[in-house]
Amino acid sequence: MKPVEAFQYLHEKSLPIILSFPMEEETGHIITGKGLCYVENIHGTSRVTLGRFSPYRLLVFLRQALVCHATFEIGGVTYGCLIQDITFHGSVNEKSVITASLPNDLNSFPRRFLRVEPSAKAPALIYIRTAHFGTLPFTIKDISEGGIGFISPILLDLEEKFICCITLPINGDNTILSDSVLVYKSERKDGLPSKYAKTGSRLAQGGTFYGLELFPHQEDGKKIRLYVMEREREIRRVIQQW
């Protein structure tokens, strides 16, 4: 589907678009904020007007980010694209609109679990038993019912399987055990934590971001889902109160 066709369909059917954008919740702690908007007008094949933002205060964060990611569903398929070259019209209120360039292309992907970044004040942790260093704790960078992202100074192997332990700061501390497998990694340019500086050849030369697919028990999956929903509401309150 061409981008202009997709946005025309969203306009005609008055279907929502989910906007995702980076926001600083605490100093140095970047998380993903989300909100809804709708297509108000399409200008040929080059520009689109978006409005009816909910919560409308997300416009404050869009002004800071200048680029955001849009996700929407058409015919049971989820599409994503970048929204950029944004022009703001009017002050931040319920009737504000923006214009932006229509994207050059769309990415389609299967439906995914809702994913959030934990709070810096109440971190979520994951414990993994590594072959060379025993059990190590990692701060969870993002989490969904189906997976976890974390940064490790230890080099781990894709497709390696673990039984991991997750602690979630909800209703006290909830501890969950789950089968898991490493499915993604991305090198980072961060320096190594000092305590790992001289511990062996398997250390990365910078932190590495890993994605871990989870296979929790059904009851444990409910606990993760509850945490994600509560955290999503917390982030939404931050946006509304900004």
| Predicted local distance difference test score (pLDDT) of residue 207 | 82
Nearest to 151 by CA among 164, 162, 138: 138
Q: What is the pLDDT of residues 163-219, one digit of tens each?
A: 999 999 987 768 999 999 999 998 754 433 333 333 343 444 458 999 999 999 999
Evaluate whether 15 touches 74 at the Cβ level (below 8 Å).
yes
Q: What is the 3-state secondary structure (H, E, C) of 34-103?
A: EEEEEEEEEECCCEEEEEEEECCCHHHHHHHHCCEEEEEEECCEEEEEEECCCEEECCCCCCCEEEEECC
Tell me: pLDDT of 24 over 60.
yes
Length of the chain: 242
| Predicted local distance difference test score (pLDDT) of residue 204 | 42
Nearest to 231 by CA among 116, 121, 130: 116
| Predicted local distance difference test score (pLDDT) of residue 194 | 37
| Predicted local distance difference test score (pLDDT) of residue 82 | 95
Residue burial 47-64, b: 16+ Cβ < 10 Å; e: rest: ebbbbbbebbbbbebbee
Q: Using omega within 30 degrees of 0 as the cis cutoff, is the peptide bond preceding 22 cis?
A: no
Helices (H) and strands (E) in the chain, counts: 3, 14
CA-to-CA dists, residue 178 to 7, 43, 112, 124, 166, angstroms: 40, 50, 19, 15, 8
Q: What is the pLDDT of residues 114-165, one digit of tens each?
A: 999 999 999 999 999 988 889 999 999 999 999 999 999 888 999 999 999 9
Higher pLDDT, 227 or 195: 227
| Predicted local distance difference test score (pLDDT) of residue 40 | 97
CA separation for the pair 90, 97 (Å, rounded)? 7
Backbone phi and psi for residue 64, each to the nearest 5 degrees, phi listed first: -80, -40
Q: What is the pLDDT of residues 84-110, one digit of tens each?
A: 999 999 888 888 999 999 999 999 987
